[in-house]
Amino acid sequence: MTELKAIIFDVDGTLADTESTHLKAFNAAFQESSLDWHWSVEDYTELLKISGGKERIAHYWKNHQAEIQFIDGATMQSTIDQIHLVKTAFYESAVRNHEVQMRAGVLEIIDAALSTGIVLAIATTTSPVNIAALLRHAIGEDWRKCFSVVEDASTAPMKKPHPQVYLQTLQRLGLPAPFCLAIEDSNNGLRSALTAGLKTVITTNAFTKHHDFSGALQVLPDLAGIGIEQLQGWHQRTLVSPSTPSFAKPL
């Protein structure tokens, strides 16, 4: 049996219940940018099929406002960059105001893993400023000391379900995939992890509970009451994963 040596966490929707706050921040940014856009919960649930905030804005723009290429003389991409910058500021403010909470059981798993010598890592396609804002608030200024590796949108630009972020995390950990366990919350995240060869535990949330999680070790509402021993036990299982997509772009 292969020993569990590392746990790799996604961030948004996995470490913390962030998506409702992200949605509020997007809508606040649209208003601040004088755009007549408003995403409903249903809109955002659909948009979460696309990884990356800027990518979601671009997708929405192209599908709902395709005739508009410039706003106040700015190109589409520069406008998207500016909207996302404003959105990030709103999100960081919400985190500082205690509007974002870590998910049940997450901090306990982090503490237990560190006390038993299991290495922790982050593999996300969110921005580094969002990660820092969240974990400074939840863990403290020294939050990075908890994670041996942090891969994010700045280091892995190919968004999930592409496996780049997980492959780079494994490379930096210096561990083969069979020694690691991923914890995710979405279909895109699961596909990314499976394609990298990782066994994966899913913790669903209101935005992802309807996703297809075929191939996951376990699908849970959260990590409350889950111990390291249970994660180690699940990790020992041998699953035949469903076929996963191939990606032509080099890593």
Tell me which residue of 194, 179, 161 sits closest to 121, measured CA to CA: 179
Question: Tens digits of per-residue pLDDT, 118-159?
Answer: 999 999 999 999 999 999 999 999 999 999 999 999 999 999
Virtual CA dihedral for 213, 202, 241, 53, nearest 10 degrees?
Answer: 70
Q: What is the pLDDT of residues 53-91, one digit of tens each?
A: 999 999 999 998 777 766 665 788 898 999 999 999 999
Q: Does 241 have pLDDT greater than 50?
A: no
Taking residues 19-32, report their average pLDDT.
96
Structure tokens at 71: 């706003």
Position 251 pLDDT exceeds 50: no
**Catalytic residue IDs:** 10, 12
CB contact set of 229 (below 8 Å; sequence gap of 6+): none
> Each residue of 50-63: pLDDT tens digit?
989 999 999 999 99
Rounded to an integer, the average pLDDT of 93-112 is 95
pLDDT score of 248 more than 50: no
Give tens-digit pLDDT for 176-226: 999 999 999 999 999 999 999 999 999 999 999 999 999 999 999 999 999
For each of the domains in the chain, give its residue range(s) and CATH number, in order of start: 6-18+102-235 (3.40.50.1000), 19-96 (1.10.150.240)
Distance CA 86, CA 203 (A): 29
Distance CA 100, CA 15 (A): 11
Can you tell me the distance from the alpha carbon of 56 to that of 134, in angstroms, rounded to the nearest whole number? 21
What pTM, to 2 d.p., does this model score? 0.89
**Peptide bond preceding 161 in cis form (omega within 30 of 0):** yes
